[in-house]
Amino acid sequence: MFDDVENIRRILVEKKVIAVVGLSANWWRPSFFAAKYMQDHGYRIIPVNPNYEEILGETCYPSLEAIPKDIGVEIVDVFQKPEAATDVAKSALAIGARVLWLQIGVINEEAKQIAEHGGLDVVMNRCVKIEHGRLLGGLNLFGVSTKVISARRPRWLVY
């Protein structure tokens, strides 16, 4: 598993095609704004969700296996419950992905072991958007570079 800065940076620099499993078309969902951010920073986003036909201008696929091989998925980013990650790890291996990325709160040791034994790099319990902003520059709040990473809304202090 890769939790060190250099390996996460290497993954984000080298791998540019991300299949987002569980991507929602609803703009207020974390999966949407993380995928939109990555797309805006030069990554190709491949949506995987059986409930949609298109998200972010890309064809949405019902499963990882339904993605055409010529797309060349490199990272499988998981926005699903931890229990689903085991099957996603198996599918990531089947399609030839190189990285299994489990988002914040998605912790599944079995999925991690399956992916690692299959030769995949694994990043677990980290947000791809936050890591990109932290390591490659792009931290902002409403378009303003703040250099701050936080899941909390800013609180204005009265002086």
Tell me the pLDDT tens digit for each residue of 43-67. Answer: 999 999 999 999 999 999 999 999 9
Assign 136 a pLDDT band (cuts: 50, 70, 90). Answer: confident
Tell me the pLDDT tens digit for each residue of 73-127. Answer: 999 999 999 999 999 999 999 999 999 999 999 999 999 999 999 999 999 999 9
Name the DSSP class of 19.
Answer: E
Would you state the structure tokens that stand for residue 25, as one six-digit string? 């078309």
Residue 139's SS3 state is: coil
pLDDT at site 143: 47
pLDDT at site 146: 47
Tell me the pLDDT tens digit for each residue of 18-50. Answer: 999 999 999 989 999 999 999 999 999 999 999
Can you give the residue ranges of every domain in the chain?
5-136
CB 60 within 8 A of CB 47: yes
Domain 5-136: CATH superfamily is: NAD(P)-binding Rossmann-like Domain (3.40.50.720)
pLDDT at site 144: 44
DSSP per residue over 42-89, as a string?
TPEEEEE-TT-SEETTEE-BSSGGGS-GGG---EEEE-S-GGGHHHHH
Tell me the pLDDT tens digit for each residue of 65-76. Answer: 999 999 999 999
